[in-house]
Amino acid sequence: MNNVAVKYDIEVIKEEARELVKKRLINRNQPIYALCKYIPPREWVSVETELEQNEFLLRDRIVDLLGREDWSED
């Protein structure tokens, strides 16, 4: 049985957040903690650790995680 947890890199976390915002499952003003609903519990510890190492708090907003976004003109 493979119990190896996935290591979440900050760029992977940011991309996951971008996709969830794009799909309107979460919004930019929610706390980063909202991501935990979409990441398996056993992997959340890795996400939390990576966020802390990159100086993000779970109460920070998703928009802080996304940083500058490029908008295409409609």
State which residues form the domain around 54.
10-66
Stated pTM of the model: 0.79
Instruction: Report d(CA 2, CA 38) in Å as an integer.
Output: 21
Q: What's the structural domain count of the chain? A: 1
Q: What is the pLDDT of residues 11-68, one digit of tens each?
A: 999 999 999 999 999 999 999 999 999 999 999 999 999 999 999 999 999 999 998 6
In a domain, 74, yes or no: no
In a domain, 44, yes or no: yes
Is residue 1's pLDDT more than 50? no
Q: How confident is the model at residue 70 (pLDDT cuts 50, 70, 90)?
A: low
Is residue 73's pLDDT more than 60? no
Cβ burial 46-56 (10 Å sphere, 16+ → b, else e) = bbbebbeeeeb
pLDDT of residue 51: 97
In a domain, 73, yes or no: no
Q: Which two tokens stand for residue 39?
A: 């990441």
In a domain, 32, yes or no: yes
In a domain, 3, yes or no: no
